[in-house]
Chain A
Amino acid sequence: TAGITQAPTSQILAAGRSMTLRCTQDMRHNAMYWYRQDLGLGLRLIHYSNTAGTTGKGEVPDGYSVSRANTDDFPLTLASAVPSQTSVYFCASSGTGGSYNEQFFGPGTRLTVL
């Protein structure tokens, strides 16, 4: 089974340009998440969705937007990229938004904004 897929694997983007990072899961999980991971810092939650049709802001939502039109897909959009958004982005999903539900992670997208 594929689990969670992310695209692209890596990208170099000019500052000011927009970009959408794609995330698709085939586990029928209700909850999905977007994190960024920077050296020396823990994973930081950008946005999340507890179920299709709903989204919420995480710890670092500014400059990012998400949508959840269906269960499987959870794209992350950078409207106007800035160099501080250079990071590795991980999409994750879990069975529900509740207590014990381990999160499964996609392989990540390495984004460089110049």
Chain B
Amino acid sequence: GQNIDQPTEMTATEGAIVQINCTYQTSGFNGLFWYQQHAGEAPTFLSYNVLDGLEEKGRFSSFLSRSKGYSYLLLKELQMKDSASYLCAVMDSNYQLIWGAGTKLIIKP
């Protein structure tokens, strides 16, 4: 079966750095997405990786290792507004997104 694993919840301090991991087992791979979802709102796109390596976008970076079935999202200089759930999703061989359950990130002052 297809599976996406990510931690249920993480806590970090304002101004710090946090890394959210995602491991996956899917039938085929056509890219990995990270989305942010604030409580009660819709998911919004953060990043996309299809090749191995690091993609940097401002305070957020996303890393992919296809051979290990592994990705992480790195958030730097954490702000209170970064408190949200972060969803990892893999596009499978049918070009459908398979979603992880999300990691709830709590930022403390």
Q: Which residues does A use to contact B, with CB under 8 Å?
A: 35, 40-45, 48, 58, 90, 97-100, 102-108
Distance of B31 from chain A, by nearest CB (Å): 6
Interface residues of B, Cβ cutoff 8 Å to A = 4, 30-31, 33, 41-45, 48, 50, 87, 89, 91, 95-102
CB contact between B42 and one of A40, A41, A90 (< 8 Å): that residue: A90
Q: How many A-B residue pairs have CB under 8 A?
A: 47
Tell me whether A103 and B45 are in contact in the complex, defined as CB-CB below 8 angstroms, given that A40-B101, A42-B4 are known contacts.
yes
Q: Are A105 and B30 in contact (CB under 8 A)?
A: no
Min CB gap B61→A, angstroms = 17
- Interfacial chain B residues near A106, Cβ < 8 Å: 42
Q: Determine the distance from Cα of A22 to Cα of B48 in the docked complex, in whole angstroms.
A: 29
Q: Pick the contact of A45: B31, B43, B97 (CB < 8 A).
A: B97
Beyond the given A42-B98, A99-B31, A107-B42, could you list 16 further A-B residue pairs with CB under 8 A, ordered by the A residue number?
A: A35-B99, A42-B4, A42-B89, A42-B101, A42-B102, A43-B43, A44-B99, A45-B96, A90-B43, A99-B30, A99-B91, A100-B31, A103-B45, A104-B45, A105-B44, A107-B41
